[in-house]
């Protein structure tokens, strides 16, 4: 970076003992690369672009800038192990931007938000195109560019801000000094996790291997034990990869299962089966003086399930040492020994410090199905068979529930076991190879899942959204709706019920793109508002209550089953049908573990 490009010293832009400002990398330049990443097709091309970015930062920034560049793109504003959040409510963002742009929130912002399907996208478009907003912002040539470090400082202040007016003041600073693209990316980062540009943590780890020449397997291990992409990047850039080691209370990236591709090809003698339980994934870390719970996305769950924490403290006291378990939190009635519906468990999710009334109404248990660490010794490099042997010993000694694992010898036996799992009210089967090690942070074919969709609905395509990566240049994401034409609660004909971006063939997607162009009512950036005309049979894993949506429900993992070219808008299922399906699921009575005896999916402790 030449003298003319050097950013002036902003908040935190100088180092102790130095009078000259530290050369830091511009946030605007970084966001422009992210924008190019979003438009770039193909994983390799995206990785090449990010390698070029990191090399540019090496020349024109600092090591800390390289680390921040990796964190912002893959984890968002905050390191996931920090426990920090700084989220702004979607309504607050919309109201503040509407006021800034001098537009009506209900009449202008909300329809635009519905059309684009993205709050950050809407805000970028409004700031770019509304004349009032443009006149309020400082002109590009008079602005002092923000750096990655400035943004990190601002994110930290946002996390510290407790009052709405304090968050508003910080947001107003963004509006006045950042470009619309920078604001869009900053809001996505503040939301945490993926930026939705087709460049996820897995791609970034591969990029780190390319740019450093380090072993990808070593980098994956470091990521697993550190629980943070940015801290992994730091030790890669500092050439300290060999120092990565497991530490309690750093969550381990979960091993994920792949869908079964062919039951006929499975080696029955070398696999074990478990029923796929309908709860939420949870990792337990327990030591003499501390217990922590972590979710699938490595966020803390400890405050959400204090009743599980109590049980884990009791178990740890029985064992004496430390342990890390992988398993599932289920809603469970201890008096009848029945698993309760997922809809019941939902009442506990997102509730920190639940009341005793809520915990009594929706009791939960943790069911272990893998052991990752015992007495601070790593077990994930051992085979599943070895880990299960230790798990059984630990759970029986500590009086903890664990999953029942069993064998089948034929395809027919597997099919009967699958039907049995569904009859028990569970999702299906997990099929695991006995010699598999714990492939942390990866979706592995060594674990496979056999599931049956809970249901299907005929839905209407309301909006089409442009894809990214290999689907760039096509509309591949779709907002689908159900009919409320004869529902007195609503004035419109259709309302959204879910968003799907898979389940179709390339040929079907090409035809769909041709047909939807005939139905375009309006275009909002990457989103098309469509006239009702295209019907999709949408299958899903379950229906979840969601008060934040207009329908009151969302579909879990919706995907295309078929495009119904033969149907029209009058054939679309109604919201009442969604409500009926949800009610039927909640009324399902699962069998007691006692009545199932040796067929029970959970092995409960004695007493």
Instruction: Say how far apart CA 274 and CA 432 lie, in whole Å.
Output: 8
Is residue 498 assigned to a domain? yes
Q: Which two tokens stand for residue 59?
A: 């020349």
Final residue belonging to a domain, choices 209, 243, 277: 243
Q: Do 61 and 139 share a domain, yes or no?
A: no
Is residue 449 assigned to a domain? no
DSSP state of 410: S
Is residue 444 assigned to a domain? no
Q: Do 299 and 412 share a domain, yes or no?
A: yes
475-483 vs 535-540, strand pairing mode = unpaired
Q: Which helix (H) or strand (E) holds 177?
A: helix 164-177
DSSP string, 528-578: EEE-S--EEEEEESEEEE-TTSSSSEEEES-EEEEE-TT--GGGSPBHHHH
CA nearest neighbour of 359 among 347, 371, 372, 375: 347
Q: Do 332 and 428 share a domain, yes or no?
A: yes
CATH number of domain containing 544: 2.40.50.140
Q: Do 284 and 426 share a domain, yes or no?
A: yes
CA nearest neighbour of 453 among 545, 544, 579, 559: 559
Instruction: Say how far apart CA 342 and CA 172 lie, in whole Å.
Output: 41
The segments of the chain whose pLDDT lies below 70 read 1-21, 114-115, 117, 132-143, 468-473, 586-589, 607
Beta bridge partners of 281: 328
Residues 6+ away with beta carbon under 8 Å from 514: none
Around Cβ 568, how many Cβ atoms within 10 Å? 13
CA distances from 368 to 105, 295, 306, 390, 597 (A): 48, 14, 17, 12, 19
Q: Do 289 and 413 share a domain, yes or no?
A: yes
Is residue 231 assigned to a domain? yes
Instruction: Say how far apart CA 528 and CA 524 lie, in whole Å.
Output: 6
Q: Do 186 and 202 share a domain, yes or no?
A: no
Answer for the pair 13, 7: CB distance below 8 angstroms, yes or no: yes
The reported pLDDT for the residue numbered 584 is: 75
Largest CA distance in the chain: 77
Q: Do 351 and 330 share a domain, yes or no?
A: yes
The reported pLDDT for the residue numbered 208 is: 97
Q: Do 150 and 217 share a domain, yes or no?
A: no
Give the HSE-up count for residue 575: Cα atoms under 13 Å, Cβ half-sphere.
22
Q: Do 186 and 204 share a domain, yes or no?
A: no
- Tokens 């003499």: give the residue: 288
Q: What is the dihedral of CA 429, 435, 437, 441, to 10 degrees?
A: -40
Q: Supply the pTM of this predicted model.
A: 0.73
The reported pLDDT for the residue numbered 5 is: 35
Is residue 182 assigned to a domain? yes
Around Cβ 545, how many Cβ atoms within 10 Å? 14
Around Cβ 5, how many Cβ atoms within 10 Å? 11
DSSP string, 45-82: HHHHHHHHHHHHHHHHS-HHHHHHHHHHHHT-SS-TTS
User: What is the number of domains present in the chain?
Assistant: 4
CATH number of domain containing 431: 3.30.470.30
The reported pLDDT for the residue numbered 10 is: 43
Q: Do 52 and 155 share a domain, yes or no?
A: no
CA nearest neighbour of 528 among 469, 587, 465: 465
Is residue 249 assigned to a domain? no
Is residue 582 assigned to a domain? no
Is residue 15 assigned to a domain? no
**What is the crossing angle of helices 119-129 and 180-190, to 10°?**
160
Q: Which two tokens stand for residue 607?
A: 């007493």
CA nearest neighbour of 580 among 543, 548, 547: 543
Domain with 70 in it: 21-83+198-243
Q: Do 387 and 268 share a domain, yes or no?
A: yes
∠ at Cα 356 (353, 359), nearest 5°?
A: 85
Q: Do 276 and 396 share a domain, yes or no?
A: yes
């Amino acid at each position: 970076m030449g003298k003319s490009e050097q950013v002036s010293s902003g908040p935190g832009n100088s180092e102790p003992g130095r009078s000259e400002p530290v050369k830091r990398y511009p946030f605007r330049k970084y966001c422009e690369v992210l924008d190019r990443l979003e438009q770039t097709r193909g994983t390799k091309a995206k990785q090449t672009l990010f390698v070029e970015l990191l090399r540019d930062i090496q020349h024109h920034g600092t090591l800390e800038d390289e680390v921040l560049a990796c964190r912002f793109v893959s984890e968002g504003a905050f390191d996931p192990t920090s426990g920090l959040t700084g989220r702004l409510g979607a309504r607050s963002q919309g109201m503040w931007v509407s006021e800034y742009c001098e537009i009506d929130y209900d009449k202008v912002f909300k329809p635009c938000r519905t059309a684009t399907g993205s709050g950050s996208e809407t805000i970028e478009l409004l700031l770019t195109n509304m004349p009032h907003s443009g006149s309020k912002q400082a002109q590009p040539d008079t602005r002092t560019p923000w750096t990655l470090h400035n943004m990190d400082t601002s994110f930290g202040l946002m996390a510290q801000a407790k009052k709405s007016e304090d968050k508003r003041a910080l947001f107003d600073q963004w509006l006045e000094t950042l470009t619309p693209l920078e604001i869009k990316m900053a809001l996505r980062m503040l939301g945490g996790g993926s930026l939705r540009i087709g460049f996820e943590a897995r791609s970034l780890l591969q990029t780190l291997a390319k740019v450093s020449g380090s072993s990808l397997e070593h980098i994956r291990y470091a990521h697993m034990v550190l629980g943070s992409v940015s801290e992994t990047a730091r030790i890669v850039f500092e050439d300290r990869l060999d120092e990565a080691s497991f530490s309690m209370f750093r969550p381990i990236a979960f091993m994920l299962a792949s869908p079964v591709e062919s039951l006929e090809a499975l080696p029955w003698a070398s696999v074990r089966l478990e029923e796929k339980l309908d709860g939420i994934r949870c990792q337990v870390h327990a030591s003499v003086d501390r217990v922590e719970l972590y979710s699938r996305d490595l966020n803390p769950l400890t405050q959400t399930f204090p009743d599980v924490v109590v049980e884990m403290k009791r178990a740890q006291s029985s064992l004496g040492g430390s342990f890390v378990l992988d398993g599932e939190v289920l809603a469970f009635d201890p008096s009848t020994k029945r698993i309760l519906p997922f809809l019941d468990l939902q009442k506990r999710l997102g509730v920190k410090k639940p009341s005793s009334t809520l915990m009594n109404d929706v009791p939960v248990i943790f069911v272990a199905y893998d052991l990752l660490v015992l007495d601070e010794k790593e077990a994930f490099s051992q085979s599943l068979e070895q880990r299960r042997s230790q798990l059984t010993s630990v759970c029986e000694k500590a009086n903890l529930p664990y999953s029942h694992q069993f064998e089948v010898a034929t395809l027919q036996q597997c099919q009967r076991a699958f039907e049995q799992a569904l009859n028990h009210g569970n999702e299906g089967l997990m099929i695991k190879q006995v010699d598999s090690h714990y492939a942390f942070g990866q979706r592995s074919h060594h674990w496979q899942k056999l599931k049956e969709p809970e249901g299907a609905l005929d839905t209407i395509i309301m909006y089409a959204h442009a894809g990214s990566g290999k689907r760039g240049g096509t509309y591949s994401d779709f907002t689908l709706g159900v009919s409320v034409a004869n529902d007195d609660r609503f004035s419109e004909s259709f309302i959204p019920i879910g968003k799907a971006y898979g389940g179709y063939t390339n040929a079907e997607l090409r035809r769909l793109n041709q047909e939807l162009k005939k139905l375009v009512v309006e275009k909002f950036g990457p989103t098309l508002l469509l006239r009702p005309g295209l019907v999709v049979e949408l299958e899903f894993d379950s229906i979840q209550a969601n008060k934040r949506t207009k329908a009151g429900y969302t579909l879990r993992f919706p995907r295309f089953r078929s495009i119904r070219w033969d149907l029209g808008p009058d054939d679309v299922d109604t919201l009442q049908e969604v409500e009926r399906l949800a009610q039927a699921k909640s009324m399902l009575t699962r069998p007691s573990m006692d009545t199932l005896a040796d067929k029970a999916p959970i092995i409960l402790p004695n007493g």
